[in-house]
Amino acid sequence: MNTIERIRDPAARTYDLHCHSNQSDGSLSPEELVSRAKVKEVSVLALTDHDTVIGLSRAKAQAKIENIELISGIEFSTQWQGRNIHIVGLNIDLNNVNLLELIEKQEGRRHDRAKMIGQKLEAVGVEGAYEGAQRFSGPGVVGRPHFAKYLIEQGYVSSMEKAFKRYLGAGKPGDVKLLWPSFEEVIPVIVGSAGVAVIAHPTKYEMTRTKLCHMVEDFVESGGRGIEVVSGNQDARSSLDMAKIGVKYGLLGSVGSDFHTPSNGWAELGRCASIPAIIDPVWSAWER
Ligand code: MN
Ligand code: MN
Ligand code: MN
pLDDT at 4: 44
* Ligand lying closest to the C-alpha of residue 256: 3
* Ligand lying closest to the C-alpha of residue 145: 1
Q: Determine the distance separating the centroid of ligand 2 and the alpha carbon of 79, expressed in angstroms.
A: 12
Ion ligand 2 residues within 5 Å by Cβ:
86, 200
Do 279 and 251 touch, CB atoms closer than 8 A? Answer: yes
Q: Determine the distance separating the centroid of ligand 3 and the alpha carbon of 28, expressed in angstroms.
A: 14
Radius of gyration in angstroms for the set of CA atoms belonging to the chain, rounded to a whole number? 19
Rounded distance, CA 20 to CA 18, Å? 7
Do 205 and 239 touch, CB atoms closer than 8 A? Answer: no
Q: Determine the distance separating the centroid of ligand 2 and the alpha carbon of 23, expressed in angstroms.
A: 15
* Ligand lying closest to the C-alpha of residue 204: 2
pLDDT at 8: 47
> What pairs with residue 75 in β-bridges?
50, 88
CA distances to 66, 231, 287 from 275, rounded to whole Å, are: 25, 10, 17
pLDDT at 5: 43
State whether residue 28 is helix, strand or coil: coil
Q: List Cβ neighbours of 64 (8 Å cut-off, separation of 6 or more).
A: none
pLDDT at 215: 98
Q: Determine the distance separating the centroid of ligand 3 and the alpha carbon of 196, expressed in angstroms.
A: 16
pLDDT at 42: 97
Q: Determine the distance separating the centroid of ligand 2 and the alpha carbon of 22, expressed in angstroms.
A: 15
> What are the pLDDT tens digits along the chain (288 aa)?
334 444 445 557 999 999 999 888 898 999 999 999 999 999 999 999 999 999 999 999 999 999 999 999 999 999 999 999 999 999 999 999 999 999 999 999 989 999 999 999 999 999 999 999 999 887 678 888 899 999 999 999 999 999 999 999 999 999 998 889 999 999 999 999 999 999 999 999 999 999 999 999 999 999 999 999 999 999 999 999 999 999 999 999 999 999 999 987 678 999 999 999 999 999 999 997
Q: Determine the distance separating the centroid of ligand 2 and the alpha carbon of 200, expressed in angstroms.
A: 6
* Ligand lying closest to the C-alpha of residue 48: 3
* Ligand lying closest to the C-alpha of residue 232: 3
Q: Determine the distance separating the centroid of ligand 3 and the alpha carbon of 11, expressed in angstroms.
A: 24
Largest alpha-carbon pair distance within the chain?
Answer: 61
pLDDT at 9: 55
pTM of the model: 0.88
Q: Determine the distance separating the centroid of ligand 1 and the alpha carbon of 28, expressed in angstroms.
A: 13
* Ligand lying closest to the C-alpha of residue 259: 3
Q: Determine the distance separating the centroid of ligand 1 and the alpha carbon of 48, expressed in angstroms.
A: 10
> What pairs with residue 89 in β-bridges?
74, 197
